[in-house]
Amino acid sequence: MVDLAAIVAEIAEEMRAETRRGTVASYIPPLACVAVDKFGLAVVMADGAIHAAGDAEEAFSIQSISKVFALTLALGAVGDQLWARVGREPSGSAFNSIVQLETEHGIPRNPFINAGAIVVCDVLLGRLQPREAIGQMLRFVRELAGDEHITIDETVAQAEQDTGFRNNALANYMRAFGNLNGDVDLVLGTYFHFCALAMSCRQLALAGRFLMDGGRVDGHRIISDKRARRINALMMSCGHYDNSGDFAYRIGLPGKSGVGGGILAVAPGIASIAVWSPGLNAEGNSELGQRALERLVQYTGWSVFEPRVG
Ligand code: GLN
C-alpha cells in the first residue's frame, strides 16, 4: 500500500528545493507577476480521498487546461460532427502555431492547440450566445468540482483580448477557409474567458474526476465512458503540444497543460491530479509541474502502460 499523503508531502518538499523552475509566462501582466516559487499539488483518489500540499488552495489561471472542458461541452453539443472541423492528431508544433493551417485548409490538428480550441468555441456559439456559453462553462466546472466558488478572472480575459494578435490571426485565417462561422471577436472573447478560468489545484483535480472515473462524478454520469476514454487519449497524444511525446514517455498518463503553469493529469480508475508551478519550459508547459508528476508516477507506479495498476 502506498502512503499517498506522505508521497504528496514529500514531492512538495522536493520541489521547494528545485532551482530550475522555468520562466513565468510574460505575454500578459496578470501572468507575468505570479511568483515563480509557487507550487501546489492535489491528488483526488477514486474513493474520494484528497491529498494536497503546497499552494494547492490558491487559484491560478488554468488557461489551456480549459480546452479539455470546452471539448467536452462541444462533443456534448454536436457529438462526432465536431471531427469534421478539427483533427485528432498531435501537431508537433507550438500551441499558437499557424503553419499547418495553410496546407491543411484551415482544419486545426487537434482541439488542444489554440486554433483547435477556437473552432471548439465557434461550435459552442453555433447554439449559444457568448454570455450563455461562458455561463455554461462556469456552471460545468463548478458542477464537476462540486465547488460554487470557481470564477473567471476578468482582468486575465481582458489582457488576453488586448494582446491576442496571434489568436486573432488564427481565427481570421480559419474564417477565410470557411472553418469559423461566428464573429471573430465574439468567438475569441469566449475563448479568452475560458482561458481566464481561475481554479486551485484542489478544484482542478476535483473537476478532473469525470475523466478518472469513466465519465462519472460520484456515481452521477456526466459523459459516456467511451467519450471519457477518448478525451483521455487526446490528452495523452496532444495535451502538451510539441512536448506531448516526452510527457507520455516520462509520465505515462493523459495530461493537459496551460501557460498559467497548471497541469491536469488523469490516472484512469485511480486518481485525478492537478499540479501548479508557474515557471514554463521551452514548449510552454510547467517545468516543475512535469517534474512533480514524474516523481509521483515513480513513487506510485501509476501509468496507463502498466499491466497491473493500483
Ligand atoms: N491564453 C493562451 C493563448 O491563447 C492559452 C495558451 C496556453 O495555455 N497554452 O495563447
What per-residue confidence (pLDDT) applies to 307? 84
Q: Please give the average per-residue pLDDT across 136-154, as a whole number.
A: 98
Does residue 25 sit in the same domain as residue 109? no
* CATH number where 156 lies: 3.40.710.10
Q: Please give the average per-residue pLDDT across 278-299, as a whole number.
A: 97
Does residue 113 sit in the same domain as residue 193? yes
Mutation to probe ligand 1, out of 65, 155, 160, 165 (largest number of atoms < 8 A from CB): 160
Per-residue pLDDT reduced to its tens digit, 227-260: 999 999 999 999 999 999 999 999 999 999 999 9
What per-residue confidence (pLDDT) applies to 2? 80
Does residue 37 sit in the same domain as residue 73? no
pLDDT at 309 over 80: no
Domain extent, residue 132, equals 64-197
d(CA 47, CA 31): 34
Confidence at 166, pLDDT banded by 50, 70, 90: very high
Average pLDDT, the chain: 97
d(CA 69, CA 211): 11
Does residue 105 sit in the same domain as residue 132? yes
**Separation in Å, CA 151 to CA 107, 122, 173, 242, 307:** 31, 22, 31, 30, 39
Q: Which protein residue's CA is at the shortest distance from atom 6 of ligand 1?
A: 64
Mutation to probe ligand 1, out of 31, 121, 259, 285 (largest number of atoms < 8 A from CB): 259
| Total domains, the chain | 2
Per-residue pLDDT reduced to its tens digit, 94-140: 999 999 999 999 999 999 999 999 999 999 999 999 999 999 999 99
Joined together, the cell numbers standing for residue 140 give 460545468
Does residue 96 sit in the same domain as residue 144? yes
Does residue 162 sit in the same domain as residue 213? no
Confidence at 1, pLDDT banded by 50, 70, 90: low
Inside any domain, residue 233: no
Inside any domain, residue 277: yes
- For the whole model, what pTM was predicted? 0.98
For residue 43, what are the β-bridge partners?
51, 273
d(CA 180, CA 305): 38
Inside any domain, residue 308: no
